[in-house]
Amino acid sequence: MRQVDIVKLDLATGNARKTSDYIAEETPLHLFVNTTFWATILCSPTNLKELAVGHLLSEGVLKSTEEIEAVQLKEDKGTCHVKLKPTVNVEDRIRLSRLHTRVILSACGSDAAYQYAGKTPQATSNLAVKAQVIFDSVNQLNFKAEGFRQTGGLHVAAIYKGDGALIALAEDVGRHNAVDKVIGMAALSQADFAACFLALSGRMSGDVAFKAAKVGLPIVASIAAALTSGVTVAEAANLTLVGFVRGKRMNIYTHMERVSF
Residue positions annotated with a catalytic role:
108
Query: Checking phi first, is residue 119 left (phi over 0); if not, alpha (psi -120 to 50) or beta?
Result: beta
Phi, psi values for residue 194, rounded to 5°: -65, -20
User: Which ranges of 96-238 does DSSP label H, i.e. alpha helix?
Assistant: 131-144, 146-151, 175-188, 206-215, 228-236
Is residue 250 a contact partner of residue 234, using CB atoms and an 8 Å limit? no
- Rounded Cα distance between 236 and 222, Å, is 19
The strand pairing partners of 2, in sequence order, are 23
Is residue 254 a contact partner of residue 231, using CB atoms and an 8 Å limit? yes
Is residue 222 a contact partner of residue 239, using CB atoms and an 8 Å limit? no
Contacts of 251 (CB under 8 A, 6+ apart): 226, 242, 243, 244
Residue 49: how many CB atoms within 10 A of its CB?
16
DSSP state of 137: H
Q: Give the amino acid at 46.
A: T
Contacts of 113 (CB under 8 A, 6+ apart): 98, 205, 206, 207, 208, 209, 210, 211, 229, 233
- Rounded Cα distance between 75 and 215, Å, is 27
